[in-house]
Structure 1
């Protein structure tokens, strides 16, 4: 609602004074009749003429506008005016008390109104009549004619020209404060066309974030010359009263409603939302779930925030600080997909820091670190967030596998260029995610390779805890998976499904309901893998048990072979940090032991503890004992050819 000009406010005050003068004159006339005294009728005619003259303003006075909006009869208008007059004039209160022969009753009553005003009718205060239907007045205790009549506080403020949302609606009804960004202009146009149609359907908005949906809904309502109120239904002790107050507020403000709905809302909230959609012209439901309207409706999905939209928001919120980011800004745009509101909040915050003279520390840029930190909370309870520390030199692989690992990194690093800038995403929206399978014996470096990729990209490694994801309750597994992928879609992470055969195994024949729902879970998972725009790495020791349909959706399949003697020597050399004191370790000899890289690292660590216990450098004697212990643990028989001559 636009602020009213001061000239109108003054003119409205003059009308209120004139209307109160009419009420006072009628009360004095009634009191004169009661006392058998004469009353000057010309004075009454003069006050009526003055009220009529004061009404000639544009927009009309608030009292007359309320009469028109709620369809009040002449008598109902006089009742409302009387109730307002009692609050605004102590003189009128005293006259009411005198007419009711009770000094304590300086208030209006229906019986008093029936006796004082012309064209009186009993139906004026019927339960469905506007005064009570819209809670314009409040009835006190007692019979209908004796009960005290008080004007509702929100209506009193309206009458005197003071705006503001009803105090009882604070916290659940808001007035919008910002315009829709240019990137959502087409959505605003579409919603406005729907709202302005002959059937006046309810528009259900989905997609993007709740604030973005609310902004679009408000802008569309304003496009069709309605103000907007954003409503978040809350728990209400009196549901009917809450709905009435919201709808009354919409009528008073000539506003449509943007009703916020969430898939997690209680049944009570949903019923409130349904009740609010009735009786108001221009309703938009902002929903992150499936809201079914009872009546005519149109569904509009907001477009996802793409790289161009993210760039626009970052540059606008950062202002002059954007130029100082250099290549970091490109990383923020391509690697992270926060909501529009998060971008604006972080951009504004960083601009303020730069303007205050804050220096950028060495290492990862604070904005990038902040986005990674914010994303971690979304994986709580379902996945382990790992800050990768493995170095690329720690990963010892044959040349072909090392080249494929480098290709995977390149696909992630340049995905925005290829998919968005070069148009491949618009050509085919399927299979845009980068999914890789790492398979091979345990300890051959599959998880280590995932950690190396994540570190080189500057991402977190998200190890999915399958025991937390898979649920015995029908439908819960899909919900858990949805939470994981929704969080991962925000960017800045690599998803790692370790031992993935437990979840991605071949779909079974349907023998009972559990088989059917297990297959549904796998199907849902395959769908999310295909749509995921990030990097998902899956590791398994048992490639042969994986679902063929799943394998076809993978962009990379990397075999991690058992390391040969040359590779084992390189792994041994990398297993002891430079600070470790070593005494004549023979890496050519120890490389003859046929174990995996994971076993070698375990042996090196165990040998270091044995040496530390003796306060001695690590020697071949320590490595030999540690190797024997490891082979016992993994149930491997050791030959003399492998460990001969180690001491």
Structure 2
């Protein structure tokens, strides 16, 4: 009796693809019909008690590995008796003569399906292990015994998908519908092609013993699938994709799915791409490991981080998003002749947006909507890149339409100088890091991080908006009070998801209310304090590695530990505006189209309000004036100021209203 290990060895070789010639179907059907006829004649001789069975033995038709039957028997290492038993079950479905003979031999007109007892009595080379649970017939569900009777008496049926496969009409298992999908190879970058070549070489040299699992890691899900598909194409396999999220939770169901998938791989000449989510779910990860180890065929695990597979040999390969040179080649290919009209002006797009091939092609298709020349194409391409790069981040954070400009920002010159320096760092990051070689020295500290500290309304969010608008990038606000979780490890997971999504776009990330995280920093007294400090360290670590601009805002700079400040490149203190700055804010508070009457910015500056509160007062005053059909005047502003002070629970002094009518 063969054990499971022997069966697993038998599927080490992939199925040869069906020859694409019009005569294959006829040859396959002729071969199957001849073999079924041979089994039928064996039943007829057994029924004729006067015949000498031993002397009448009929040799099997010579095996043809290019037929469905020949391939199936070789792939699953069926013995001659198992092969004939499979043919007996197929014949009962395809040949009414065999069904009638089974009923006659069973002496029961209702028992038209073969039984194992009948096969043991009629077919040569019979052995009991042919129907054991570890046998290939049972393990791979090629035949299925009925229930409720002794094993020798129970009727044997053939799996419908296997029957269609033998008949040459293809292999379709309805139980796998919606779970498996084909993956086609496409245009690969140089690094993806190198990974595909390594996979093909690894599997081509595997021999008959086993297929080592391949773990494709890295930050490019689409690239991993493309590299896997190209590797399979190179060695004559198709590639089928299965989402790890569709794996059953129950071990028995998971094992059954593994058998069904592997059977399809063998019969179709395919490999399986198992795409697993990187969520830190211990139970789901254990199920993923169990499924991978239950399979012995060609398997590719595609996820950001590798899995430990104690019971299966595996090899890890990295497939990351295209680097700058690869993105340049993809852009040149996608733009074609239009690339020359840009005169190299797509270089900033290459540096800023980490798009894959599909994203680049989609951006080009969106930007090439009209016949405008290179002058108009550049801005359209940039806008299209922003749309393509933001897709993942839109579901994780609030996107702010950045409309504010430098003219809208009223700050002391020192703070403005730091903000302009931040914009310069972002604009020229690729030049300094890549072309001037700073990135080759270390990966640490390449992120452009900043801390904006100051009271509410002093312009922290507006400054981030100005920077995003100046750089032509999206601005996303992440509320740390919602990101931080009381459950250990959840905060880091939330931050990782955000930064991974933002890496594609280089967006400006505004982490609002950083006090929610930094406020936990304290003397380490218990495990909760340690984990709180770990969360802060993880955030700063990801900010250091993020190639875009990440900004933390806080109302209390004193809450930030100096050790953390050391890891932030820029710190900008937003002061409460003095009278001169408030005057300037009032001058810019009303749009040009707003009707005003006798407004005095100097007197308005007497109100001790921050910029955000001034904007609130200005807008409320505009509504008051509009409701009365009047231009905005000092009286409307006074009325709105009284309401704003009440909201702030702050007294409005006579000195602030001195000289007002």
TM-based fold match above 0.5: yes
Distance 1:5 1:574, change over 3 A: closer
Distance 1:19 1:637, change over 3 A: closer
Distance 1:465 1:109, change over 3 A: same
Contact 1:582-1:617 within 8 A present in 2 as well: yes
Q: Distance in 1 between matches of 2:127 and 2:379?
A: 81
Residue 519 of structure 1 deviates from its aligned partner by 0.9
TM score, norm. by length of structure 1 = 0.84
Quote the residue 1:247 is aligned against: 262
Q: Distance in 1 between matches of 2:316 and 2:300?
A: 10
Following superposition of structure 1 onto structure 2, how do residues 280-299 of structure 1 map, counting pairs within 5 Å? 280-289=296-305, 291-295=307-311, 296-299=313-316
* Residue from 395, 415, 437 that aligns with 1:401: 415
Distance 1:268 1:588, change over 3 A: closer
Quote the residue 1:601 is aligned against: 615
Match status 1:583 vs 2:583: no
* Residue from 460, 476, 481 that aligns with 2:495: 481
Quote the residue 1:158 is aligned against: 165
* Residue from 52, 75, 99 that aligns with 2:81: 75
Q: Distance in 1 between matches of 2:110 and 2:489?
A: 66
Q: Distance in 2 between matches of 1:244 and 1:578?
A: 72
Q: What is the aligned-residue RMSD (CA, Å)?
A: 3.8
Residue 402 of structure 1 deviates from its aligned partner by 2.5
Between stretches 495-504 and 431-440, larger displacement belongs to: 495-504
Following superposition of structure 1 onto structure 2, how do residues 157-176 of structure 1 map, counting pairs within 5 Å? 157-176=164-183
SS at match of 2:391: helix
Structure 1: segments with no counterpart, 5+ residues: none
Residue 352 of structure 1 deviates from its aligned partner by 9.5
Contact 1:317-1:347 within 8 A present in 2 as well: no
Quote the residue 1:553 is aligned against: 567
SS at match of 1:537: strand
Following superposition of structure 1 onto structure 2, how do residues 211-610 of structure 1 map, counting pairs within 5 Å? 211-221=222-232, 228-232=239-243, 234-236=246-248, 238-264=253-279, 267=283, 270-271=286-287, 273-278=289-294, 280-289=296-305, 291-295=307-311, 296-314=313-331, 316=333, 330=347, 332-338=349-355, 341-343=358-360, 346-347=362-363, 350=366, 367-368=384-385, 370-371=387-388, 374-379=391-396, 383-491=397-505, 493-505=507-519, 507-591=521-605, 595-610=609-624
Following superposition of structure 1 onto structure 2, how do residues 44-59 of structure 1 map, counting pairs within 5 Å? 48=59, 51-52=61-62, 55=63, 59=65
Quote the residue 1:86 is aligned against: 92
SS at match of 2:321: coil
* Residue from 196, 208, 213 that aligns with 1:188: 196
Q: Distance in 2 between matches of 1:629 and 1:105?
A: 91
Residue 492 of structure 1 deviates from its aligned partner by 5.5
Residues 219-251 of structure 1: per-residue CA shift (max 9 Å, x gap) = 445556655443335355744432222222333
Q: Distance in 1 between matches of 2:443 and 2:501?
A: 20
TM score, norm. by length of structure 2 = 0.82
Q: Distance in 2 between matches of 1:73 and 1:373?
A: 57
Q: Distance in 1 between matches of 2:377 and 2:328?
A: 24
Distance 1:80 1:39, change over 3 A: closer
SS at match of 1:618: coil
Match status 1:65 vs 2:79: no
Between stretches 198-207 and 630-639, larger displacement belongs to: 630-639
Residue 156 of structure 1 deviates from its aligned partner by 2.3
Residue 524 of structure 1 deviates from its aligned partner by 1.0
* Residue from 84, 109, 122 that aligns with 2:128: 122
Quote the residue 2:37 is aligned against: 21
Q: Distance in 2 between matches of 1:418 and 1:154?
A: 60
SS at match of 2:528: helix
Distance 1:562 1:311, change over 3 A: same
Q: Distance in 1 between matches of 2:133 and 2:338?
A: 61
How many residue pairs end up in the alignment? Answer: 628
Q: Distance in 2 between matches of 1:271 and 1:614?
A: 68
SS at match of 2:183: coil
Structure 2: segments with no counterpart, 5+ residues: 1-15
